[in-house]
Structures are given as C-alpha cells and as structure tokens.
C-alpha cells in the first residue's frame, strides 16, 4: 500500500469514548530521562518508520517541560513501559489552536488488547482538561487499525490537505468502515 499522510480532525471534545485500562495496567506521565523510553517504544511499535532519538528532539525538544503533563506512558502489570501517547497541541492548523493526539504506540506483544483505545481516551480527556476544544492527528495510509480506532473515536478525514482525496481513496478501499463509505472523493 502506498504510504501517504492523512490528517483527521474532531470538531469538539464532547462525548469522548471512554475505554478504561484493563486490570493491572496503568498510565504515568513523562519523567526526566524518558526520551530513551519513548524512542524504544516507538521503535518497537512502528513497522513503517525508523524512529530515532533525533525524532524525539524534533517533536518535543524545545518544550520538554510540557511533557510532564502531556506525555503518557503505559505501564504493564509487571512494571514495564509498553506504550506511549501525547496530548499535544498544534497552534496553527487552519488558523486555529488544536489539541493534537500525537504518537500513539503500543509495543507489538501487547497490541490487540484494547490498550490503544484506553490511551486514546486518556489523551483526549487530557486535551479537554487542558482547555482544548477540538483535536487533530496525523497518520499514514497503511496504519489501518489506527485509522479504524480514530474513526470510532469520532475523528473524520480532513479532505482539505494535499493528496487527501488520493490518500482516503486508498484507505477506503482497504478499510470497510461505515464513516468512509459516505466519503466523497
């Protein structure tokens, strides 16, 4: 499948789907030194992109203090950090301030257990608590499981971006989600 970027938006942060963590799992916030932990989780989880420590610096390097209240780590029942997501922001998208769901990842051995949904619920709740009224996220066309989850959480395709029609046609052909059937391309 051709890899194209897709943007998804949610016009409000009302009625966020609530998916609790399974028993024994917990979330914690970023702590000093967690850049390496973040990178290791992203490397393990991402089969499409080679995530490096430089990527962490590019994404968050100038605003590390904000991670202490915005970046979550998912902790397994045996105490290992196995996932991460960030309730970030975008100050300029379409001339507005947006909450941004950023870098959702769960290491492969723990995928398929509903942990991504629980992390997404937490990140969206956090965005709302921090005063955001709407949310945005970016992903790529081959990440069909993630796109499916985002659609189920009320995100919709942003058709205003470059290559949006081409990208969403690719996704719609591979992902039989009801929200995509109505999509005009």
The band of 5, judged by pLDDT with boundaries at 50, 70 and 90, is: very high
- 84 touches 103 (CB < 8 A): yes
Whether the pLDDT of residue 77 is over 90: the answer is: yes
Q: What total of structural domains would you count in the chain? A: 1
Structure confidence at residue 60 (pLDDT)? 94
Cα–Cα distances (Å) from 14 to 69, 88, 127, 144, in that order, read: 21, 18, 11, 25
Structure confidence at residue 183 (pLDDT)? 82
In this prediction, residues 77-106 reach a mean pLDDT of 96
Helices (H), the chain: 35-45, 53-60, 64-70, 115-129, 144-152, 164-174, 178-181
Q: Cα torsion for 106, 110, 116, 119, to the nearest 10°? A: -80
Range of the domain at 70: 5-181
pLDDT, one tens digit per residue, over 34-50 is 999 999 999 999 988 88
pTM equals 0.95
Cα–Cα distances (Å) from 22 to 82, 108, 116, 156, in that order, read: 14, 17, 11, 27
pLDDT, one tens digit per residue, over 106-115 is 999 999 999 9
Those residues whose C-beta lies under 8 Å from the C-beta of residue 48, and which sit 6 or more positions away, are: 3, 140, 142, 143
Whether the pLDDT of residue 157 is over 80: the answer is: yes
Position of tokens 């005009």? 184
In this prediction, residues 138-155 reach a mean pLDDT of 98
The band of 140, judged by pLDDT with boundaries at 50, 70 and 90, is: very high
CB-count burial class (<10 Å; 0-12, 13-18, 19+) for 86: buried
Render the burial of 12-22: b for 16+ CB within 10 Å, e for the rest.
Answer: ebeebeebebe
The band of 169, judged by pLDDT with boundaries at 50, 70 and 90, is: very high
Whether the pLDDT of residue 65 is over 70: the answer is: yes
Q: Could you tell me the CATH number of the domain that includes residue 160? A: 3.40.630.30
In this prediction, residues 58-77 reach a mean pLDDT of 96
């Amino acid at each position: 499948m051709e890899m194209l970027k897709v943007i998804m938006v949610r016009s409000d942060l009302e009625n966020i789907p609530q998916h609790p963590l399974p028993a024994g799992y917990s979330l914690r916030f970023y702590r000093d030194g967690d850049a390496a932990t973040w990178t290791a989780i992203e490397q393990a989880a991402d089969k499409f992109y080679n995530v490096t420590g430089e990527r962490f610096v590019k994404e968050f390097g100038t605003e590390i203090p904000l991670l202490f209240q915005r970046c979550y780590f998912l902790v397994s029942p045996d105490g290992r950090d196995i996932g991460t997501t960030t309730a970030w922001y975008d100050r300029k998208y379409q001339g507005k301030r947006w909450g941004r769901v950023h870098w959702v990842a769960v290491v492969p051995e723990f995928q398929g257990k509903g942990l991504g949904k629980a992390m997404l619920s937490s990140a969206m709740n956090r965005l709302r608590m921090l005063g955001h009224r709407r949310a945005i996220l970016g992903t790529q066309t081959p990440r069909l499981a993630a796109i499916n989850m985002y659609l189920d959480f009320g995100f919709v395709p942003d058709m205003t971006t470059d290559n949006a029609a081409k990208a969403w046609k690719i996704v719609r052909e591979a992902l039989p989600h009801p929200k995509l059937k109505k999509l005009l391309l």
